[in-house]
Amino acid sequence: MGRRERGITLRNQYYADSRDVSKWSVIKELAQQYQIQTVLQIAMLRPDEANNHGAKTHKPKKCDDGINQFFEEERKEFQEHPERRKIERIEGLQKSAGLNFQVEVITDLFVSTGFGPFRARYFSAACNKLSRLERPSIAFLDPDIGLEGTEVTGLHVTLREMVKVFSVLREGDIQVLYQHRYHDLLWLEKKVDAIRKEEIFRNKRIEHPSDGDVAFITIFK
């Protein structure tokens, strides 16, 4: 039996926590380096849970000052108005942090528990949106855990879905996958190897900047 993978579930209640500081610091660095015009976060958003999770506010290793300040201000807002904690507020990052790229996010709930027509419709809609973006762009795949393992749940993106998204990108675009560590010393190498086995990725440049127990698998088109 394969080892169970664990991660931080992406829900509105987790918006603006320390993970977001790390994620968007990496995205900003990529966008500035490669003159990106638009970032689309394919959030695979899950329903909130009745708990107090999402309160981590420590500074991660990957921490851009402007990004961190944006999320600090967001958290202050939520202390008085917790109902305003919605992932779509990330679209205000461009103006607040003075970025030279636009941020868009898919806010539809991702309620899939495995393979099925819902996943196909969700990623078809994401690809349709990607095809209309100003280029060059970043497709930011942001599942709760990362790439599929021994099972496929709503917490994972599949290789097939990664291929589908990458196929609509153009030269100069970038695909980024959020990947959480699991209980295997070679966790990152195994995920990258699985991706490289797909023909569409075989000769592509792949990097994987990391921050503690998470990595951002970055594929250049």
Q: Which of 43, 34, 23 is nearest to 155 (CA)?
A: 43
Q: What is the pLDDT of residue 114?
A: 67
Residue 95's Cβ-count burial label (10 Å; 0-12, 13-18, 19+) is exposed
pLDDT at 165 exceeding the cut of 90:
yes
Q: What is the pLDDT of residue 50?
A: 52
Report the C-alpha gap between 49 and 59 in whole angstroms: 24
- Condensed to tens digits (0 to 9), the pLDDT of residues 133-160 reads 999 999 999 998 999 988 888 889 999 9
Q: What is the pLDDT of residue 62?
A: 87
Q: What is the pLDDT of residue 116?
A: 78
- Condensed to tens digits (0 to 9), the pLDDT of residues 86-122 reads 999 999 999 988 899 999 999 998 976 667 789 999 9
| Domains parsed from the chain with CATH numbers | 12-220 (3.40.50)
Q: What is the pLDDT of residue 115?
A: 72
Tokens of 22: 């790390």
Q: Which of 24, 9, 36, 139 is nearest to 74 (CA)?
A: 24
Q: What is the pLDDT of residue 158?
A: 96
Tokens of 97: 């942090």
Q: What is the pLDDT of residue 87?
A: 92
- Condensed to tens digits (0 to 9), the pLDDT of residues 51-99 reads 455 556 677 888 999 999 999 999 999 989 988 989 999 999 999 888 9
Report the C-alpha gap between 117 and 25 in whole angstroms: 34
- Condensed to tens digits (0 to 9), the pLDDT of residues 7-28 reads 334 457 778 888 899 999 999 9
| Cross-strand bridge partners of residue 139 | 40, 175
* Beta strands per DSSP E along the chain: 38-42, 102-106, 137-141, 146-147, 156-157, 174-180, 206-207, 210-211, 214-220
| Cross-strand bridge partners of residue 197 | none
pLDDT at 128 exceeding the cut of 70:
yes
Q: What pLDDT band is residue 47 in, cutting at 50, 70 and 90?
A: confident
